[in-house]
Chains A and B, each alone.
Chain A
Amino acid sequence: GAGVSQSPRYKVAKRGQDVALRCDPISGHVSLFWYQQALGQGPEFLTYFQNEAQLDKSGLPSDRFFAERPEGSVSTLKIQRTQQEDSAVYLCASSLKRRGETQYFGPGTRLLVL
């Protein structure tokens, strides 16, 4: 079956530009997670949705980062006024229910801010 998909796969933005990253989870998966992976590091948690409710946004690094999942399926991560330190791979994952279950990852969006 179809896995988690993310678009775009690559994004080059000029500093100060707004970007929107899309995640299509596996159909029927309740939970959706966003992670950020900087070069040479492991993925770091950004935010978590259960259906359309954003239950944890403790990992969002600043108020320039905003995520939504309005209908409980597709999610968008928006970064306003991008900075060079936002350059990273942004990974989306979904799981059937909640904690302890396997999270299925998309291929990520590689963002480069110049």
Chain B
Amino acid sequence: ILNVEQSPQSLHVQEGDSTNFTCSFPSSNFYALHWYRWETAKSPEALFVMTLNGDEKKKGRISATLNTKEGYSYLYIKGSQPEDSATYLCAFGPSNTGKLIFGQGTTLQVKP
């Protein structure tokens, strides 16, 4: 059974705080690791797709790292803003299939 775990489950921070979340995934049969941001009543928005061990990606104040050997990825948000409030999902893409296996998400609430 392929399992993807995210921590923490939820997080409350003050505006301006930096924060990070963890995604753990199987280290075997790896093809890609995806991060999505999902705001209430909207479509999940793709943030990053990472495929190579050691990959680091950045989009504005958000960045992500990937370690495929040990099976984890970190998502960092620098200087959180209220508009960053959302659920952040990571998804593991196995090498033998197109489907994604999602973690349960980390819900971030940024207080002004």
> Taking beta carbons and an 8 Å cutoff, which residues of A are in contact with B?
3-4, 31, 33, 35, 40-45, 48, 50, 55-56, 59, 91, 95, 98-108
Contact = CB atoms under 8 A, between A and B. Distances in A.
Contacts of B31: 99-100
Interface stretch (B14-22, B44-52, B58-66): B44-52
B59 to A, nearest CB: 13
B4 interface: yes
A56 B99 contact: yes
B44 A105 contact: yes
Main secondary structure of the interface of A (DSSP, over half): loop
A44 B102 contact: yes
B32 A106 contact: no
B43 A48 contact: no
Contact of A107 (B34, B41, B95): B41
B100 A45 contact: yes
A98 B43 contact: no
A102 B34 contact: yes
B112 interface: no
B89 A56 contact: no
A52 to B, nearest CB: 15
B104 interface: yes
B25 to A, nearest CB: 12
A43 B66 CA distance: 21
A45 B43 contact: no
Given A99-B31, A100-B31, A103-B34, A45 B44 contact: no
Contacts of A31: 98
Nearest to A99: B98
A100 to B, nearest CB: 4
Contacts of A59: 99
Nearest to A101: B49
Interface in B41-95: 41-46, 49, 51, 89, 91, 93, 95
B4 A100 contact: no
